[in-house]
């Protein structure tokens, strides 16, 4: 992203800036000429109202990425925390930004907000046509509420707030924590542990039939910057590639690049999650010119190579 009049000298509050996606976005913002402020949760708890007011003071633009996230297991164990923390952070931060006259507010939502049985490809118009998949509904609905708030604030106050819907992200520096990791880092770690322990088989959750779409975090960071610069509307916008892969094919691809040659077994007593995920990404291209650039297999290989060199992350 080149320096230009939109970004030069802007004061940008980037919540979640020390997290996975934030680590890809922050350097791009800095290279574009912004002053990036990254509040860390241990120093500034954004579930507290006074901290939200403090964080948004003298800021031109807020990009809200911060959230409590995890895989299926984490979602099943902590539904209350996932709903409350994600909702209260976003609601208070947006209100604080409005009170402090922030010029623009960008919220990163989640594909988990879509109904469980959304027709594919997911169109933004389908967002309200059903209840999310049960295991991640509290998280998805908390994010949906931020879309409601964003639209209500634009209508009543003329507050320039936009809402983006990134698909499942992946890439180097992803979260490989056993409890919080999503499907790609969880499977990569499982593969390497199986290799290390000489395990003849690797057990994966579900039956492998669900499909998922994945967007490289570097592509997502570029999309967020394009939207922040060019998009000013109440309608939510999907961010993705428009391509899907089955979990079974994904596991086989990860095993291939990780070098795991054992047998892959499926534990069908564990949940599959949402049956399919694939986005219609035409609006992102139409409204702010975003198209993903990183081929999935190459991005996946780069992620596996990164983990091979950083196995304790």
Question: Cα 51 to chain center, whole Å?
Answer: 23
Q: Residues 86-97, buried b or exposed e (16+ Cβ, 10 A)?
A: bbbbbbbbbbbb
Q: What is the DSSP letter of 134?
A: G
Give first-to-last CA distance, the chain, whole Å: 28
CB 12 within 8 A of CB 36: yes
Q: Would you please indicate which residues are annotated as catalytic (active-site) residues?
A: 139
Q: How far apart are CA 171 and CA 174, in angstroms?
A: 6
Quote the tokens at residue 186: 């969880």
Q: Please, what's the largest Cα pairwise distance for the chain?
A: 61
Q: What share of the chain is helix, strand, coil (3-state, %, to 5)?
A: 45, 15, 40
- What phi, psi does 15 have (nearest 5°)? -75, 145
Q: How far apart are CA 82 and CA 214, in angstroms?
A: 22
């Amino acid at each position: 992203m080149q320096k230009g009049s939109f970004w030069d000298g802007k004061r940008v509050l980037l919540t979640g800036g020390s997290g996975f996606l934030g680590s890809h976005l922050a350097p791009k913002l800095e290279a574009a000429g912004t002053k990036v402020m990254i509040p860390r949760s241990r120093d500034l708890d954004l579930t507290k109202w006074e901290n939200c007011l403090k964080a948004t003071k003298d800021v031109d633009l807020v990009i809200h990425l911060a959230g409590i996230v995890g895989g299926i297991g984490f979602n099943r164990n902590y539904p209350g925390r996932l709903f409350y923390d994600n909702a209260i952070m976003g609601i208070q931060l947006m209100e604080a930004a409005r009170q402090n006259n922030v010029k623009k507010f960008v919220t990163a939502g989640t594909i988990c907000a879509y109904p469980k049985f959304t027709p594919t490809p997911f169109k933004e118009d389908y967002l309200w046509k059903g209840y999310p998949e049960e295991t991640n509904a509290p998280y998805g609905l908390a994010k949906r509420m931020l879309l409601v708030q964003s639209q209500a604030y634009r209508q009543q106050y003329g507050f320039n707030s936009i809402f983006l819907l990134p698909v499942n992200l992946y890439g180097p520096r992803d979260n490989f924590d056993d409890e919080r990791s999503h499907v790609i880092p969880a499977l990569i770690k499982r593969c390497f542990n199986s290799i290390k322990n000489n395990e003849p088989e690797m057990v994966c959750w579900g039956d492998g039939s669900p499909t998922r779409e994945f967007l490289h975090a570097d592509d997502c960071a570029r999309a967020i910057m394009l939207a922040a610069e060019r998009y000013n509307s109440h309608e939510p916008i999907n961010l993705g590639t428009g391509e899907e892969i089955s979990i079974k094919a994904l596991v086989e691809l990860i095993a291939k690049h990780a070098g795991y040659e054992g047998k892959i077994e499926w534990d069908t007593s564990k949940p599959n999650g949402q049956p399919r995920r694939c986005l219609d990404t035409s609006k992102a291209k139409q409204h702010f010119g975003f198209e993903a650039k990183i081929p999935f297999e190459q991005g996946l290989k780069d992620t596996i190579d990164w983990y091979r060199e950083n196995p304790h992350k």
